[in-house]
Amino acid sequence: MDHSWKDLALEVIQGKELSDGEALSILQCPDGELLELLNGAYQIRKHYYGNKVKLNMIINTKSGLCPENCGYCSQSIVSKAPIEKYAMVDKDTIIKGAEKAHKLNVGTYCIVASGRGPTNRDVDKVVSAVKEIKENYDMKVCACLGLLKEDQAERLKEAGVDRYNHNINTSENHHEQITTSHTYEDRVNTVEIAKKQGISPCSGVIVGMKESLQDVVDMARSLKVLDADSIPVNFLHAIDGTPLEGTDELDPRYCLKVLCLMRFINPTKEIRISGGREVNLRSLQPLGLYAANSIFVGDYLTTAGQQETADHQMLKDLGFEIDYTNEITAEELV
């Protein structure tokens, strides 16, 4: 870098798009410059979001029983991980999860189900639950049900689903190294179907799956092209019994650099520290929020998170505020 990270951040705020060289230099930032890089990312984050942090919570409404062969996933057909397997839970269970999320000041409640895509019966349950949740709680609802059909997206929108998550997970170039049971284009198409129905698109990545640095840059750029409003950044928590068992490529400092890259390339978007943050960021978790502005609280799909109260204490210690309404947008803060 021939100028400072803070200078580059100010250029990004003014509309600059990073070159590949600049993007790669973030991932290759010397550890001795990491705090300066984080300060640059924080300048962007503060410009668009102040010190507010959005809270999200997941309910795993259907576990395992998935015909896909995604190498990272304990729920896939190729996984031998000893996880709990169950069909779609009932409406009351979904609503009780929303009640818990509401008590924890969660702004977005995420209804997640394993599988290639939802059956119409699955959609019926989600639609019924969402209607009741929206009547009783002032929170956003995100659905993550797999590959989506247009009529299903229309029904979810009518029920009150605010956001639909379908991660690209990795770069187009690396996709076939992770799964061959669906294409990269299948994933992009589902995000576009949600957008077409006026549902806010959420799409993110999993880092640490033997991808190259250029793949990570390509992921960030692809999410910019998709115009994803919310970008979950997962760090691989390799699960025994999955094809990626034993993969351990990440350290906390590199994870922070990835979060900074996402902020520099997608400056106005919600960047969420997601699965694997506890095991990969470890004691550096709080520093991640100088680049990101959103976290999951509680457990993930088949892996445990940290105590919800610990997350709230972390935000308090940082001097950050919980975004209770979760309605504020980057554009409104400019």
Q: Which residues are annotated as a binding site?
A: 66, 70, 73, 110, 142, 202, 272
Tokens at 234, concatenated: 């997962």
How far is the C-alpha of 69 from the C-alpha of 112, rounded, in Å?
18
Going by C-beta distance under 8 Å and a sequence separation of 6 or more, which residues neighbour residue 27?
213, 216, 217, 254, 257, 258, 261
- Residues at the annotated binding site for [4Fe-4S] cluster? 66, 70, 73
Q: Which amino acid, one-letter code, is at 42?
A: Y
The length of the chain in residues reads 334
Tokens at 240, concatenated: 């025994």
Which residue do the tokens 């951040």 mark?
A: 9
Query: For 75-83, which contacts have Cβ atoms below 8 Å and span 24 or more sequence positions?
Result: 75/114, 75/301, 75/302, 76/242, 78/242, 78/243, 79/239, 79/241, 79/242, 79/243, 80/241, 80/242, 81/239, 81/240, 81/241, 81/242, 81/302, 82/241, 83/302
Q: Which amino acid, one-letter code, is at 250?
A: L
How far is the C-alpha of 233 from the C-alpha of 272, rounded, in Å?
6
